[in-house]
Chain A
Amino acid sequence: NAGVMQNPRHLVRRRGQEARLRCSPMKGHSHVYWYRQLPEEGLKFMVYLQKENIIDESGMPKERFSAEFPKEGPSILRIQQVVRGDSAAYFCASSPMWPGATSYEQYFGPGTRLTVT
Protein backbone atom coordinates (compact mmCIF):
# COMPACT_ATOMS: atom_id res chain seq x y z
CA ASN A 1 0.00 0.00 0.00
CA ALA A 2 1.76 3.10 -1.24
CA GLY A 3 1.81 6.08 1.05
CA VAL A 4 0.57 9.56 0.30
CA MET A 5 2.12 10.76 -2.93
CA GLN A 6 2.83 14.34 -3.85
CA ASN A 7 4.23 15.79 -7.02
CA PRO A 8 6.23 17.56 -7.99
CA ARG A 9 8.64 17.32 -5.08
CA HIS A 10 10.27 20.60 -6.03
CA LEU A 11 8.70 23.39 -8.04
CA VAL A 12 10.22 26.68 -9.13
CA ARG A 13 8.00 29.45 -10.40
CA ARG A 14 8.58 33.06 -11.32
CA ARG A 15 6.47 35.75 -9.71
CA GLY A 16 3.09 35.96 -11.40
CA GLN A 17 3.02 32.37 -12.64
CA GLU A 18 0.67 29.65 -11.49
CA ALA A 19 1.64 26.71 -9.29
CA ARG A 20 -0.28 23.43 -9.27
CA LEU A 21 0.51 20.92 -6.55
CA ARG A 22 -0.87 17.39 -6.67
CA CYS A 23 -1.66 14.93 -3.92
CA SER A 24 -2.76 11.32 -4.21
CA PRO A 25 -4.06 9.99 -0.87
CA MET A 26 -3.38 6.54 0.46
CA LYS A 27 -5.57 3.82 -0.99
CA GLY A 28 -8.91 3.75 0.75
CA HIS A 29 -8.53 7.24 2.22
CA SER A 30 -11.15 9.78 1.28
CA HIS A 31 -10.09 12.72 3.45
CA VAL A 32 -7.34 15.04 2.23
CA TYR A 33 -5.73 17.91 4.13
CA TRP A 34 -3.27 20.53 2.93
CA TYR A 35 -0.78 22.21 5.25
CA ARG A 36 1.88 24.84 4.61
CA GLN A 37 5.24 25.16 6.34
CA LEU A 38 6.86 28.54 5.86
CA PRO A 39 10.63 28.82 6.41
CA GLU A 40 11.45 28.58 10.11
CA GLU A 41 7.76 28.30 11.04
CA GLY A 42 5.47 25.50 12.08
CA LEU A 43 2.94 23.71 9.91
CA LYS A 44 -0.31 25.58 9.39
CA PHE A 45 -3.56 24.04 8.24
CA MET A 46 -4.92 25.31 4.93
CA VAL A 47 -7.86 23.21 3.75
CA TYR A 48 -9.68 19.92 4.33
CA LEU A 49 -11.47 18.16 1.49
CA GLN A 50 -13.45 15.05 0.82
CA LYS A 51 -14.27 13.82 -2.66
CA GLU A 52 -15.90 16.71 -4.55
CA ASN A 53 -16.41 18.71 -1.34
CA ILE A 54 -14.48 21.34 0.59
CA ILE A 55 -15.18 20.69 4.26
CA ASP A 56 -13.02 23.33 5.97
CA GLU A 57 -11.07 26.07 4.21
CA SER A 58 -10.54 28.28 7.23
CA GLY A 59 -6.76 28.32 6.73
CA MET A 60 -6.75 29.24 3.05
CA PRO A 61 -5.68 32.73 2.03
CA LYS A 62 -8.68 34.54 0.65
CA GLU A 63 -7.15 35.28 -2.73
CA ARG A 64 -5.12 33.35 -5.31
CA PHE A 65 -5.39 29.96 -3.53
CA SER A 66 -7.86 27.23 -4.39
CA ALA A 67 -8.13 23.49 -3.82
CA GLU A 68 -10.13 20.64 -5.24
CA PHE A 69 -10.48 16.90 -4.80
CA PRO A 70 -12.38 15.58 -7.81
CA LYS A 71 -14.26 12.30 -8.00
CA GLU A 72 -11.43 10.87 -10.06
CA GLY A 73 -7.78 11.80 -9.76
CA PRO A 74 -5.59 13.55 -7.24
CA SER A 75 -6.31 16.54 -5.07
CA ILE A 76 -4.93 19.78 -6.51
CA LEU A 77 -3.76 22.86 -4.64
CA ARG A 78 -3.59 25.76 -7.05
CA ILE A 79 -1.82 29.05 -6.43
CA GLN A 80 -2.37 31.78 -8.97
CA GLN A 81 -0.03 34.70 -9.57
CA VAL A 82 2.56 33.46 -7.08
CA VAL A 83 4.56 35.88 -4.97
CA ARG A 84 7.82 35.36 -3.08
CA GLY A 85 5.92 34.96 0.17
CA ASP A 86 4.34 31.78 -1.22
CA SER A 87 7.73 30.04 -1.08
CA ALA A 88 7.22 27.22 1.39
CA ALA A 89 6.84 23.48 1.77
CA TYR A 90 3.30 22.31 1.10
CA PHE A 91 2.28 19.04 2.68
CA CYS A 92 -0.69 16.88 1.97
CA ALA A 93 -2.13 14.38 4.43
CA SER A 94 -4.86 11.80 4.16
CA SER A 95 -6.93 9.87 6.65
CA PRO A 96 -9.40 7.02 6.33
CA MET A 97 -13.14 7.24 6.49
CA TRP A 98 -15.10 4.05 6.77
CA PRO A 99 -17.82 2.82 9.11
CA GLY A 100 -16.22 2.16 12.46
CA ALA A 101 -13.09 4.23 11.84
CA THR A 102 -12.21 5.96 15.05
CA SER A 103 -8.64 7.12 14.92
CA TYR A 104 -8.64 9.47 11.92
CA GLU A 105 -4.87 9.32 12.02
CA GLN A 106 -3.35 11.57 9.39
CA TYR A 107 -0.61 10.26 7.12
CA PHE A 108 1.60 12.81 5.44
CA GLY A 109 3.21 12.93 2.03
CA PRO A 110 6.81 14.04 1.39
CA GLY A 111 5.76 17.58 0.51
CA THR A 112 6.24 19.91 -2.43
CA ARG A 113 8.83 22.59 -1.96
CA LEU A 114 7.79 25.67 -3.86
CA THR A 115 10.35 28.35 -4.63
CA VAL A 116 9.19 31.61 -6.16
CA THR A 117 11.92 33.61 -7.86
Chain B
Amino acid sequence: KQEVTQIPAALSVPEGENLVLNCSFTDSAIYNLQWFRQDPGKGLTSLLLIQSSQREQTSGRLNASLDKSSGRSTLYIAASQPGDSATYLCAVGGGTASKLTFGTGTRLQVTL
Protein backbone atom coordinates (compact mmCIF):
# COMPACT_ATOMS: atom_id res chain seq x y z
CA LYS B 1 0.00 0.00 0.00
CA GLN B 2 1.41 3.35 -1.08
CA GLU B 3 2.02 5.89 1.68
CA VAL B 4 2.99 9.50 1.04
CA THR B 5 4.62 11.71 3.65
CA GLN B 6 5.26 15.43 3.48
CA ILE B 7 7.75 17.29 5.62
CA PRO B 8 7.51 19.80 7.17
CA ALA B 9 3.82 19.90 8.07
CA ALA B 10 4.00 23.69 8.38
CA LEU B 11 6.51 26.31 7.35
CA SER B 12 6.71 30.07 7.83
CA VAL B 13 9.25 32.12 5.87
CA PRO B 14 9.80 35.82 5.18
CA GLU B 15 9.04 37.14 1.74
CA GLY B 16 11.84 36.68 -0.77
CA GLU B 17 13.25 33.46 0.63
CA ASN B 18 13.80 30.37 -1.46
CA LEU B 19 12.31 27.24 0.07
CA VAL B 20 12.05 23.51 -0.42
CA LEU B 21 9.10 21.26 0.36
CA ASN B 22 9.68 17.54 0.67
CA CYS B 23 7.60 14.54 -0.31
CA SER B 24 8.46 10.88 0.16
CA PHE B 25 6.61 7.76 -0.94
CA THR B 26 7.02 4.13 0.06
CA ASP B 27 6.41 2.33 -3.25
CA SER B 28 8.76 3.48 -6.02
CA ALA B 29 6.63 1.85 -8.74
CA ILE B 30 4.81 5.06 -9.57
CA TYR B 31 3.49 6.31 -12.90
CA ASN B 32 3.58 10.01 -12.16
CA LEU B 33 3.65 12.57 -9.36
CA GLN B 34 1.67 15.78 -9.09
CA TRP B 35 2.15 18.82 -6.89
CA PHE B 36 -0.97 20.80 -6.02
CA ARG B 37 -1.77 23.98 -4.18
CA GLN B 38 -4.87 24.28 -2.00
CA ASP B 39 -6.10 27.57 -0.58
CA PRO B 40 -8.31 27.50 2.55
CA GLY B 41 -11.81 26.37 1.71
CA LYS B 42 -10.96 26.00 -1.97
CA GLY B 43 -10.23 23.28 -4.48
CA LEU B 44 -6.88 22.03 -5.74
CA THR B 45 -4.78 23.75 -8.36
CA SER B 46 -2.32 21.55 -10.22
CA LEU B 47 1.15 23.08 -10.18
CA LEU B 48 3.41 20.51 -11.79
CA LEU B 49 3.20 16.97 -13.10
CA ILE B 50 6.27 14.77 -13.36
CA GLN B 51 6.17 11.51 -15.27
CA SER B 52 8.06 8.60 -13.74
CA SER B 53 10.64 8.79 -16.55
CA GLN B 54 11.39 12.45 -15.85
CA ARG B 55 13.74 13.97 -13.29
CA GLU B 56 12.26 17.44 -12.97
CA GLN B 57 9.70 19.94 -14.21
CA THR B 58 9.74 23.72 -14.03
CA SER B 59 7.03 26.35 -14.16
CA GLY B 60 7.95 29.94 -13.43
CA ARG B 61 9.34 30.16 -9.90
CA LEU B 62 8.52 26.51 -9.20
CA ASN B 63 10.77 23.53 -9.81
CA ALA B 64 9.85 19.97 -8.89
CA SER B 65 12.29 17.10 -8.90
CA LEU B 66 11.72 13.37 -8.73
CA ASP B 67 14.03 10.61 -7.55
CA LYS B 68 11.97 7.49 -8.06
CA SER B 69 14.56 5.05 -6.77
CA SER B 70 14.77 6.75 -3.40
CA GLY B 71 11.05 7.55 -3.26
CA ARG B 72 11.45 11.30 -3.02
CA SER B 73 10.28 14.49 -4.65
CA THR B 74 10.99 18.10 -3.80
CA LEU B 75 9.18 21.29 -4.71
CA TYR B 76 11.45 24.31 -4.86
CA ILE B 77 9.87 27.76 -4.68
CA ALA B 78 12.12 30.65 -5.59
CA ALA B 79 11.75 34.18 -4.26
CA SER B 80 8.64 33.42 -2.20
CA GLN B 81 5.76 35.91 -2.10
CA PRO B 82 2.83 36.34 0.32
CA GLY B 83 0.55 35.08 -2.45
CA ASP B 84 2.34 31.73 -2.25
CA SER B 85 0.78 31.15 1.17
CA ALA B 86 -1.31 27.98 0.88
CA THR B 87 -1.18 24.25 1.57
CA TYR B 88 0.97 22.31 -0.87
CA LEU B 89 0.03 18.73 -1.59
CA CYS B 90 2.05 15.98 -3.19
CA ALA B 91 0.22 13.08 -4.85
CA VAL B 92 1.50 9.96 -6.60
CA GLY B 93 -0.24 7.99 -9.32
CA GLY B 94 0.30 4.25 -9.36
CA GLY B 95 -0.57 3.48 -12.98
CA THR B 96 -2.05 4.80 -16.17
CA ALA B 97 -5.14 6.81 -15.34
CA SER B 98 -5.23 5.42 -11.80
CA LYS B 99 -6.04 7.03 -8.49
CA LEU B 100 -3.78 9.49 -6.73
CA THR B 101 -2.45 8.88 -3.23
CA PHE B 102 -2.02 12.16 -1.38
CA GLY B 103 0.30 13.32 1.34
CA THR B 104 -1.13 15.35 4.20
CA GLY B 105 0.40 18.55 2.91
CA THR B 106 2.73 21.34 3.96
CA ARG B 107 1.05 24.52 5.13
CA LEU B 108 3.16 27.43 3.93
CA GLN B 109 2.95 30.98 5.21
CA VAL B 110 5.03 33.71 3.58
CA THR B 111 5.20 36.81 5.74
CA LEU B 112 5.89 40.41 4.74
Contact = CB atoms under 8 A, between A and B. Distances in A.
B102 A43 contact: yes
A42 B49 contact: no
B51 to A, nearest CB: 7
Interface in B75-112: 89, 91, 93, 96-105
B61 interface: no
Contacts of A59: 99
Interface in A89-103: 91, 93, 95, 97, 102-103
Contacts, number: 63
Nearest to A105: B49
Instruction: Pick the most buried of B43, B96, B102: most chain A CB atoms within 10 A of its CB.
Output: B43
Interface residues of B, number: 25
A41 B46 CA distance: 19
A103 B102 contact: no
A44 B100 contact: no
A110 B34 contact: no
A49 to B, nearest CB: 11
Given A48-B98, A48-B99, A91 B44 contact: yes
A56 B99 contact: yes
Nearest to B6: A42
A56 B94 CA distance: 13
Which 5 residue pairs spanning A and B have beta carbons closest together?
Answer: A108-B44, A110-B43, A45-B99, A42-B104, A43-B102
Given A45-B99, A108-B44, 4 more contacts: A43-B102, A105-B32, A108-B45, A110-B42
Interface of B: 31-32, 34, 36, 41-46, 49, 51, 89, 91, 93, 96-105
Interface of A: 31, 33, 35, 41-45, 48, 56, 58-59, 91, 93, 95, 97, 102-111, 113
